[in-house]
Amino acid sequence: KYTKFSIFYYWINSVGKKTFIDRKLLEIPIPPGEENQTTTRSYSHKTMPLESTSFTGTYYCEVKWNDITKMGAGVFVLATDAGYIQTSYRWEILLTLITIFAALSITGTGLLLWKRK
């Protein structure tokens, strides 16, 4: 009964419109001696790069047997024009530390010269 099932991939955009992406029909044979046992299987689905920000939304996977439907929790994807940019503050931190040390050094030198007079 549960060896034939369908997997549906779809997304729901910000206004609630459901768009189907892909569908797989599967039939998994049950090996002898493993009847009436629960099993877990993983299936991957690769999507093409998102073309525009209109592809922002929550993406879902749904499995349907004859009389049962199970839906995943969904994954929210935010599509941006710039894409993903790895931010690094290494140079900013280094420049800030150099500026602070230079200011302290100049101030210390000025105080020593002022006290000397």
Q: How many domains does the chain have?
A: 2
The boundaries of the domain holding residue 112 are 88-116
pLDDT digits (tens, 9 = 90+) for 80-110: 776 566 677 788 888 999 999 999 999 999 9
* 83 occurs within a structural domain: no
Same domain, 69 and 25: yes
> pLDDT value at position 102?
94
Same domain, 55 and 96: no
The DSSP code sequence of 37-57 is -----------PPP-SGGG-E
* 82 occurs within a structural domain: no
Q: Which two tokens stand for residue 99?
A: 């500026």
DSSP letter assigned to residue 9: E
